[in-house]
Chains A and B, each alone.
Chain A
């Protein structure tokens, strides 16, 4: 029986299907959707349960929601990206998969697309809840909210690509998951704050660029055009310091660069990694 292996794109589709099956059977997809729905429910229910009601400002309501988007994206990257590659080595499943007639880059890309689709589902669900709630409560839909969604998708793609790079480099699944979560949720944001306090614009940081997802609603129009990033004054432990606010265009460029560079680096490392 001599059959030729399918094309790269067909094989990518196969890897994607079986990776999605992994998320479904492993309850990961279900888990992230439950977390998303629960957080959205908390955001909606807490003001009412505390008897404070919703803000009268049409921008304040969704901007509160948007503060959680970056956490949701980091959680998705941890759930779907952090062990995607490293598990093939640590759990020795690569011994069965790698001697198959399929290029390693196709395995990685298939897994990446599966993780991107799963994360997109969670992010889209969250935005759908924000949009429907905003419409129901205020009867209006802000353009910036839609723009925020697109930016969130680009941010998600860049964080996932970075998570895949970490997964290609790391030795163990636990270490990879912990590093992915803490890097994007703590380490890089702390570096952003330190750079801000030293009056250095962290425009090159992906987590700083990701701040645009929520800041676009609180400081909208001023940031849409090119020019110097807005600078305001923040306060940490009572000490005022300059706070650089990202702008749309530069943030988009930074996120796209992170996506492209880290994904290519992940492919480079994975193709050379030995089992």
Chain B
């Protein structure tokens, strides 16, 4: 939870009285354009930086006045951290586990489990200095999960990973959500947030614009974009007809055979549009909605915020 959290760098206001409350067991996606204040918030929560004013709490404990207690049941991945290059993953996890008060049995058992989860088992005894960026990101996730914390703070957790790695990390986060863990994750990948999170907080220029469940936010922007590809370029008269179809707000011809239709309506209306295009004589090779509901909402809200 944050209370009037403010961070000012010289004259730049990175966070402007941020008030955010995340209930236990919620998986919250923290969204916003570059410079919105997402990483600043995460850095304050993980004690990497101090707020100019206001308070930040983890498990009800003020992170500034008692960081040791506040961070005791928290796992965090902030940016892509580096690890001591002379240590192996097993040694690094051992260090982290000891600092958290885990017994050697717990450390060894949990290390095996988390290294298996992040697919680093065969590298468990190799120096981290030789790891790629993606492997270090996996290592970061392993050390965040080591003590099975109640709260996970993840700053772009799939950054630097290949598509398979991204999928694996998303699966891990979904499992954590099922276990009732509280996950607070920032990401630029809206499809990822939509897939993994149940709640979204949107930040812009240091201010919280909206914080709600994804299903509620999707209703904010009813306009969908549909990409239509045709075998033959549509004529001008066909384009005029399309503009007059029910629910169509705008039609853009992105190339001779590709149309981008902005459409407002439910699934039935969309099926109706599909049939109308066929009746018009358009030889369609594909008809697909582009972007996610969350993306439409994001763009709409950010555009309003800028206005």
Which A positions have Cβ atoms within 8 angstroms of B? 1-6, 11, 14, 18, 21-22, 25-26, 91-96, 98-103, 272, 274-275
Report the separation of the CA atoms of residues A5 and B82 in the bound assembly, to the nearest whole angstrom.
23
Q: Which stretch, B94-102, B204-212, B221-229, B271-279, touches the partner chain A? A: B94-102
Which B residues are CB-close (under 8 A) to A91?
Answer: 82
Which A residues are CB-close (under 8 A) to B83?
Answer: 93, 96
CB distance from A218 to the nearest CB of B (A): 43
**Residue B79 at the chain A interface, CB threshold 8 Å:** yes
Taking a contact as CB atoms under 8 Å apart, the answer to whether A99 and B47 are in contact is: yes
Taking a contact as CB atoms under 8 Å apart, the answer to whether B106 and A99 are in contact is: no
Taking a contact as CB atoms under 8 Å apart, the answer to whether B72 and A101 are in contact is: yes
Taking a contact as CB atoms under 8 Å apart, the answer to whether A95 and B82 are in contact is: yes
Report the separation of the CA atoms of residues A4 and B70 in the bound assembly, to the nearest whole angstrom.
11
Question: Which residues B75-105 have CB closer than 8 A to chain A?
Answer: 76, 78-84, 86-87, 91-92, 95-96, 98-103
Closest Cβ neighbor of A18 among chain B residues: B95
A–B complex contacts, Cβ < 8 Å, 16 sampled: A1-B110, A2-B150, A3-B102, A5-B68, A5-B101, A6-B101, A25-B86, A93-B82, A96-B96, A98-B46, A99-B71, A100-B99, A101-B72, A274-B49, A274-B50, A275-B43
- Among all A-B residue pairs, the 4 with the closest Cβ atoms: A95-B81, A99-B46, A25-B86, A274-B49
Which A residues are CB-close (under 8 A) to B106?
Answer: 1, 3
Taking a contact as CB atoms under 8 Å apart, the answer to whether A14 and B143 are in contact is: no
The listed residue (B48, B74, B87, B92) touching A95 by CB distance below 8 A is: B48
Taking a contact as CB atoms under 8 Å apart, the answer to whether B74 and A99 are in contact is: yes
Question: Which residues B82-135 have CB closer than 8 A to chain A?
Answer: 82-84, 86-87, 91-92, 95-96, 98-103, 106, 110
Report the separation of the CA atoms of residues A200 and B70 in the bound assembly, to the nearest whole angstrom.
53
Chain B residues within 8 Å of chain A by Cβ, number? 42
The listed residue (A22, A93, A95, A102) touching B99 by CB distance below 8 A is: A102
Which A residues are CB-close (under 8 A) to B234?
Answer: none
Taking a contact as CB atoms under 8 Å apart, the answer to whether B48 and A275 are in contact is: yes
Taking a contact as CB atoms under 8 Å apart, the answer to whether A103 and B67 are in contact is: yes
* Chain B contact residues, majority secondary structure: loop
Taking a contact as CB atoms under 8 Å apart, the answer to whether B102 and A14 are in contact is: no
Report the separation of the CA atoms of residues A4 and B147 in the bound assembly, to the nearest whole angstrom.
11
Which B positions have Cβ atoms within 8 angstroms of A? 43, 46-50, 67-74, 76, 78-84, 86-87, 91-92, 95-96, 98-103, 106, 110, 140, 143, 147-148, 150, 153
Taking a contact as CB atoms under 8 Å apart, the answer to whether B95 and A14 are in contact is: yes
Most buried by B among A1, A2, A4, A102: A1
Report the separation of the CA atoms of residues A92 and B79 in the bound assembly, to the nearest whole angstrom.
10
Closest Cβ neighbor of B103 among chain A residues: A3
CB distance from A83 to the nearest CB of B (A): 12
Which A residues are CB-close (under 8 A) to B47?
Answer: 98-99
Taking a contact as CB atoms under 8 Å apart, the answer to whether B81 and A96 are in contact is: yes
Most buried by B among A95, A96, A274: A96
Report the separation of the CA atoms of residues A3 and B98 in the bound assembly, to the nearest whole angstrom.
10
Closest Cβ neighbor of B68 among chain A residues: A101
Which A residues are CB-close (under 8 A) to B153?
Answer: 99
Taking a contact as CB atoms under 8 Å apart, the answer to whether B147 and A14 are in contact is: no
Taking a contact as CB atoms under 8 Å apart, the answer to whether B69 and A101 are in contact is: yes
Report the separation of the CA atoms of residues A218 and B73 in the bound assembly, to the nearest whole angstrom.
60
The listed residue (A1, A95, A274) touching B79 by CB distance below 8 A is: A95
Report the separation of the CA atoms of residues A1 and B147 in the bound assembly, to the nearest whole angstrom.
6
Report the separation of the CA atoms of residues A272 and B150 in the bound assembly, to the nearest whole angstrom.
27
Most buried by A among B67, B78, B84, B92: B84
Report the separation of the CA atoms of residues A25 and B46 in the bound assembly, to the nearest whole angstrom.
30
Closest Cβ neighbor of B147 among chain A residues: A1
Report the separation of the CA atoms of residues A22 and B86 in the bound assembly, to the nearest whole angstrom.
7
Which B residues are CB-close (under 8 A) to A5?
Answer: 68, 72, 99-101
Taking a contact as CB atoms under 8 Å apart, the answer to whether A4 and B101 are in contact is: yes
Which A residues are CB-close (under 8 A) to B91?
Answer: 21
Report the separation of the CA atoms of residues A1 and B73 in the bound assembly, to the nearest whole angstrom.
9
Report the separation of the CA atoms of residues A25 and B281 in the bound assembly, to the nearest whole angstrom.
74
